[in-house]
Amino acid sequence: MSSHHFVKEQQEPALVILDTTGITFEQIAPLLEWVPTVMVAQEEIFTVISWGIKVDLILADLEFQKENFKLLEEQYPVKFLGVKNGDYLNESLQYLIASKHGAANIVGFDHQKVFDLEPMLEFFDLVIWDGSIRYFPVKNGNFKKWFTACDVQLHAPEGSLIEIKNAEGSHILEIQPTTIIAVPEGISEFNSKGLFWIGQIFNTEA
């Protein structure tokens, strides 16, 4: 898209693609609308290029950079960001913090590990895509949103208590390893004493 050549001011959430397993281009496309900085792990770069996405930074180890240096010309103005020991996520987040990005969408991250990301929430907002589910953190313990009738997953330390209020009433839920609830169409409110994550299932057939 030609708008990708506009000067970026880090105002839009960056897009970090770590793994495309279970991900379709249709899921990624809306995240590209406002021309974010796009960072891709080396294992996924050729898939992402095949989708026609313009990449800014390839997260790559030295061996990959040497073997694929032609990408710098073929995908100009793409650049390599050096990574050791496959630590793509940490390198990408450190870069985004240093470049003063305020938010990022991370595609292909295991939602079971979101608690490892919580120290980073001090610096910017993160949204996680794990397969067909989009997870976002509720930092202050309170969240209210209008939903279509759907299933949502609540992710928090096991045993956490989350109060849910909607058209069906109010109840308190104790979080289990996998806690999925059905919410009716309309406003649902979630309250907890601590940070928790809400997962929304993305309809890949839409």
The 10s digit of each residue's pLDDT in 11-60 is 689 999 999 998 999 989 999 988 899 999 999 999 999 999 999 999 99
Which CATH number describes the domain made up of 10-131? 3.40.50
Confidence (pLDDT) at 203 = 59
Number of C-alpha atoms within 13 angstroms, CB side, residue 164? 23
Model pLDDT, residue 178:
81
CA nearest neighbour of 133 among 157, 155, 101: 155
Determine contact, residues 129/108, Cβ cutoff 8 Å: yes
pLDDT score recorded for residue 132: 85
The helices-and-strands tally (H runs, E runs) of the chain is: 5, 14
Low-confidence ranges of the chain (pLDDT < 70): 1-11, 202-206
Model pLDDT, residue 124: 87
